[in-house]
Amino acid sequence: MSTAQTPEEQGRRIDLLLDVPLDVSVELGRNRMTIQDLLALGPGSVIELDKVAGEPLDILVNDRLVARGEAVVVNDKFGVRITDIVSPQERIARLR
């Protein structure tokens, strides 16, 4: 008995996944602070992030890094242009 699938069977299996919703987020940077510092924040407060201006933004799918990009403006809204896709080897290494 053969376990190989025809291209049509593989296409049907992929079709089952196409409607699965995923959370996509773009991370500008991170900072760690105490609860006291968090409670002291107010309008006009500035939180310094760990990334340098111009550094690529991390694109996360379900909290997993999948790509990097740069901020753009599209029709008065912010967007992100993908500049690099994380290699499968790097994605696997991040799972450990």
Please name the helix (run of DSSP H) or strand (run of DSSP E) that holds residue 37, with its range, or none: helix 35-39
Structure tokens at 32: 């760690």
Per-residue pLDDT reduced to its tens digit, 14-62: 787 888 999 999 999 999 999 999 999 999 999 999 999 889 999 999 9
What b/e sequence results for 11-48 when a residue is b if at least 16 CB atoms lie within 10 Å of its CB, and e otherwise? eeeeeeeeeeeeeeeeeeeeeeeeeeeeeeeeeeeeee
Query: What confidence score (pLDDT) does residue 15 get?
Result: 80
Q: Which residue has the higher pLDDT, 60 or 11?
A: 60
Query: What confidence score (pLDDT) does residue 12 get?
Result: 72
User: What does pTM read for this prediction?
Assistant: 0.71
